[in-house]
C-alpha cells in the first residue's frame, strides 16, 4: 500500500460492500422461504428487492475497484487480489483486510448456494404450473381451484389462490389460466435473478 490512508479507504469500502452483500443474502433467503412456503404472490416483490440490493452492491464494487487501482499494488498484469493487498498493507490493516476477505467469502458462497436452491425450487414451480395448465386446457370441466403442489423434495409451491365468488365457470377458467401463466413468469424471474447474481470478478478478487 502506498499509504495508511489508501488502505483505510479500501477497508471502509470493503465494509460497505460486505454490508450490501449481506442485504443481498437476506433478500435471497427471504425469496427461498417464500418459495418453500408456497407464497407465490410475494415472489415478484422479493425478486425485485434482490435486484435493487445487488445494484447497490455493484455501485460500491466499482468504488472498491477504483480504490484498489489507487493502491499501487501490482497484480502481475491483473487486478491484485485481496490477499495480495493484505500482504502489502502495514499492521494492523493486513489483519483487517484478511478478516474482510474471510467474511465476504462466506457471504458470497452462501448467496450462490441459496441462489441455486431458489432456482431449483423455481424450476419445480414452472413444471407444476405447466402441468396444471395442461390439465386445465385439456379438460372439459374446470378443476377445483388449485392451492398448492409439492416438488420432489416436498417443498410446497403455491399456484392459484382459491376464489369462490366468480360468476361463471368460464370466468373461473380464465382466472385460473391467467394465474398459472403469471406464476410461470414469476418463477422464471426468480431463475433469471439467480443467474445474474453470479459474481466471478468478486470471486477472483477474494481468491
Please, what is the average pLDDT of the chain? Answer: 82
- 152-191 tens-digit pLDDT: 555 555 555 455 444 567 777 777 888 888 889 999 999 9
Residue 10 near residue 64, CB atoms below 8 Å: yes
Between residues 38 and 152, which one has the greater pLDDT?
A: 38
Ranges 24-28, 38-42, 45-49: which has the least confidence: 38-42
Residue 4 has pLDDT above 60, yes or no: yes
Residue 24 has pLDDT above 60, yes or no: yes
Residue 198 has pLDDT above 50, yes or no: yes
Contacts of 180 by beta carbon, 8 Å cutoff, 6+ apart? 129, 132, 133, 136, 159, 160
Tell me how crowded residue 100 is: count the other CB atoms within 10 A of its CB.
Answer: 21
Per the rule left: phi > 0, alpha: psi between -120 and 50, beta: everything else, 125 is alpha
- The three cell numbers of residue 149 are 403442489
Q: What's the whole-model pTM score? A: 0.77
β-pair partners for 158: 148
- 74-129 tens-digit pLDDT: 656 677 899 999 998 888 999 999 999 999 999 999 999 999 999 999 999 999 88
Binned at pLDDT 50, 70 and 90, residue 32 comes out as very high
Catalogue all structural domains in the chain, each as residue range(s) with its CATH number: 4-121+196-205 (1.20.58), 124-191 (no CATH)
pLDDT value, residue 11? 92
Amino acid at each position: 500500500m502506498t499509504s495508511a490512508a489508501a488502505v483505510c479507504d479500501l477497508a471502509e469500502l470493503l465494509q460497505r460492500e460486505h454490508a450490501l452483500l449481506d442485504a443481498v443474502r437476506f433478500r435471497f433467503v427471504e425469496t427461498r422461504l417464500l418459495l418453500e412456503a408456497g407464497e407465490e404472490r410475494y415472489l415478484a416483490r422479493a425478486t425485485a428487492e434482490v435486484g435493487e440490493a445487488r445494484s447497490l452492491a455493484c455501485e460500491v464494487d466499482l468504488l472498491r475497484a477504483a480504490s484498489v487501482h489507487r493502491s499501487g499494488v501490482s497484480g502481475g498484469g491483473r487486478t491484485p487480489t485481496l490477499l495480495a493487498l493484505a500482504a502489502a498493507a502495514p499492521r494492523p490493516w493486513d489483519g483487517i483486510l484478511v478478516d474482510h476477505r474471510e467474511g465476504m467469502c462466506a457471504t458470497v458462497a452462501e448467496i450462490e448456494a441459496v441462489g441455486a436452491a431458489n432456482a431449483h425450487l423455481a424450476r419445480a414451480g414452472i413444471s407444476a404450473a405447466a402441468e396444471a395448465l395442461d390439465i386445465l386446457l385439456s379438460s372439459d370441466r374446470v378443476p377445483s381451484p388449485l392451492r398448492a403442489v409439492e416438488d420432489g423434495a416436498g417443498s410446497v409451491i403455491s399456484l392459484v389462490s382459491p376464489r369462490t365468488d366468480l360468476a361463471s365457470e368460464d370466468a373461473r377458467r380464465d382466472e385460473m389460466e391467467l394465474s398459472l401463466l403469471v406464476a410461470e413468469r414469476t418463477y422464471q424471474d426468480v431463475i433469471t435473478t439467480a443467474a445474474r447474481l453470479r459474481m466471478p470478478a468478486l470471486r477472483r478478487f477474494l481468491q
